[in-house]
Amino acid sequence: MAFEWPVRIYWEDTDAGGIVFYANYLKFFERARTEWLRSLGLGQQSLRELTGGMFVVVDAQLRYLKPARLDDELIVTAAVLDCGRACLTIRQQALLKTEQASESGPALLCEGTVRIGWVQADTLRPARIPASLLQTLSRP
C-alpha cells in the first residue's frame, strides 16, 4: 500500500500558462518521500544524527501524462518497489484528488521511479543501509 501526501498547486508551481512546471513534480515527490519517512518515525535529520548516514537521489525517471493546474489538489504517493542493501527504488505517482477526478477514479498526472542510495553523510560515499532501518523500510 502506498503512502499518500496531499499537495495543492500554487502560482509558484506553475508556468505562465497556469500549468505545473514539469520539474516541480520532482519537488512533490521529494516531499512525499520525506513525509513517508516521517510517518515511519524516521526524520531525515535525526537519521543523519543517529546513524551518520543519509539518503541521496541517484536516479529519477518520470513520465508525464496530464497537466496539473493552478488550484488543483493532488495526492502524491510513495511506495517501495525494490529494497536493496544500499538503495531503495520508490514508485511515485501524482494523482488529481478524487473529488476533482472522473468517475473512473483519480486521474494519473505523473508517475515515476526514484532510486535513493544510502551514503555516509561526512564523505558521501555509498554505504549499507543499517539493518534496523532496512527492516522498518521494507515493512508493507
Q: For residue 98, what pLDDT band results from cuts at 50, 70 and 90?
A: low
Distance CA 120, CA 42 (A): 17
pTM to 2 decimal places: 0.91
Q: pLDDT at position 99, please?
A: 60
**Positive or negative CA dihedral for 77, 20, 113, 38?**
negative
CA–CA–CA angle 89, 90, 91 (5° rounding): 125
At 42, which amino acid appears? L
Whose CA is closest to 112, among 86, 76, 68?
76
Q: Is 13 a catalytic residue?
A: no
Exactly one of 15, 59, 82, 122 is catalytic; which is it?
15
Other beta carbons within 10 angstroms of residue 84's beta carbon come to 13
**Mean pLDDT over each residue of the chain, to the nearest integer:** 93
Question: 42-55 pLDDT, tens per residue?
Answer: 999 999 999 999 99
